[in-house]
Amino acid sequence: MSIRLGDVAPDFQAETTQGVINFHEWIGDGWAILFSHPKDFTPVCTTELGYMAKLAPEFERRNCKVIGLSVDPVESHLRWEKDIEATQGYAVNYPMIGDSTLAIAKLYEMLPADEVGTCEGRTAATNQTVRSVFIIGPDKKIKLHLTYPMTTGRNFYEILRVLDSMQLTAAHKVATPVNWNNGDDVIIVPAVSDEEAKAKFPNGWKTVTPYLRIVGQPGKN
């Protein structure tokens, strides 16, 4: 069975660059991002992990922890961190999982289920499906799953944007339209009647169609 949105994120214990963790316990009562990369000491991954280090405080402000993963051992991660800081200007400030048995990569279906072996002798090409992002909510359920191709670095601002949307829509009965950014107008979901909407949005809204009602973002100053 494939992992689907709304499924409970598989729990695991793992060795990381910041010690052994139990995943659900580590998440606690906030949000979490688990993102994987194909291989240490590779160019696209180096730029990605450096930029995530730059943005980590933004995720922290949103009560969202960040953790990385590859099938390289922790010792390799620790050596690579020096290159990341030297070339990208930011020290890796979040834990990285060493998944040298491929157990977590397979648990999260980042690699084919029948993939066998360890990290020994593996290249970025053989790990090419391992460029995934999972956003996990406080209920430990998967809220977002993205997988990127080998040659395409991720846009972590987009991941931040989606997190903003999910946190907003989890707290209010709204949805976010195409190209929405934090602070933009939102959509009142169809399940909210006009009567209920009057109580929730006393300043009113714009009705485009009966099912498309535009309103200012809740909580926006």
Residues identified as active-site: 45
Q: What is the Cα–Cα distance from 70 to 118, expressed in whole angstroms?
A: 12
Sequence-ordered list of residues with C-beta below 8 angstroms from that of 117, at least 6 positions apart, any chain: 102
Q: Is 158 exposed, middle or buried (0-12, 13-18, 19+ CB in 10 A)?
A: exposed
In this structure, the number of other CB atoms found within 10 A of the CB of residue 202 comes to: 7
Question: Quick one: 113 exposed, middle or buried, by C-beta within 10 A (0-12, 13-18, 19+)?
Answer: exposed
For Cα atoms 90, 40, 88, give the angle at the middle one, nearest 5 degrees.
Answer: 20
Amino acid at 145: H
